[in-house]
């Protein structure tokens, strides 16, 4: 799913559309419910009603490990579920008064081996698994080709993290596969 085909503002609507449902019509169905609450409360409501829901894995694992829910994961890895976080340094030639150098320093930290290890190990000791893919290492070493392809399909623009015309210095920060 490329950027042009994905509804970035609401992945849930995208998933229903991919499944062949019209979002507007779906909301009127008697079996469909919107909890209108946060993820934790949504999981509790789904558990109480014996229903299905979409959830982030971190909230699910927390509620499951605390025995607040008995829901089972049906799907936890799919291209349509990928949620890429990106850090973007604003070009100081386009927007004045930005702290570009500190933004780049922060981005360099995020892509560093130390930070990528922190991301990979976050809460592993509690839940027995990673909550996040450390994308930089995954993309460089292609340790999980399927997940790497999903990230490229979701977060890249015409095969690159950032099209060259939008870059300002620091070419080493970009992956141009």
Name the least confident of 7-11, 38-42, 110-114.
Answer: 7-11
Please give the DSSP secondary-structure letter assigned to residue 120: H
In this structure, how many other beta carbons lie within 10 angstroms of the beta carbon of residue 64?
19
Which domain does 41 fall in, by range?
3-81
Domain shared by 75 and 106, yes or no: no
Could you read off the pLDDT of 121-176 as tens digits, one per residue?
A: 999 999 999 888 888 888 888 888 999 999 888 888 888 888 888 788 887 777 65
Q: Dihedrals φ, ψ of 99, to 5°?
A: -95, 70
Q: Report d(CA 50, CA 138) in Å as an integer.
A: 36
Residue pLDDT, tens place only, 62-85: 999 999 999 999 998 888 888 888
In a domain, 89, yes or no: no
Beta bridge mates, 160:
157
Domain boundary among 81, 110, 130: 81
Same domain, 106 and 168: yes
Cβ-based neighbour number of residue 126 at 10 Å: 11
| CA atoms in the 13 A half-sphere facing the CB of 126 | 12
Greater confidence, 79 or 40? 40
Contacts of 45 (CB under 8 A, 6+ apart): 33, 35, 37, 51, 53
Residues 105 and 76 in one domain: no
């Amino acid at each position: 799913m490329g950027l042009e085909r994905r509804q970035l503002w609401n992945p849930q609507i995208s998933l229903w559309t991919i499944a062949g449902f019209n979002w507007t019509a779906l909301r009127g169905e008697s079996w469909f419910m919107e909890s209108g609450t946060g993820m934790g409360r949504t999981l509790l409501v789904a558990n109480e009603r014996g229903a299905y829901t979409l959830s982030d894995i971190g909230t699910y694992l927390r509620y499951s490990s605390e025995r607040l829910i008995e829901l089972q994961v049906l799907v936890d890895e799919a291209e349509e579920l990928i949620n890429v976080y990106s850090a973007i340094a604003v070009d100081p030639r386009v927007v004045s008064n930005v702290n570009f150098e500190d933004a780049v320093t922060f981005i360099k930290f995020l892509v560093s081996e130390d930070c990528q290890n922190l991301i990979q190990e976050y809460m592993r000791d509690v839940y027995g698994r990673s909550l996040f893919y450390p994308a930089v290492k995954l993309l460089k070493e292609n340790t999980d080709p399927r997940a790497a392809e999903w990230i490229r399909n979701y977060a890249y623009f015409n095969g690159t993290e950032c099209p060259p015309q939008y870059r300002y210095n620091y070419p080493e920060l970009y992956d141009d596969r």
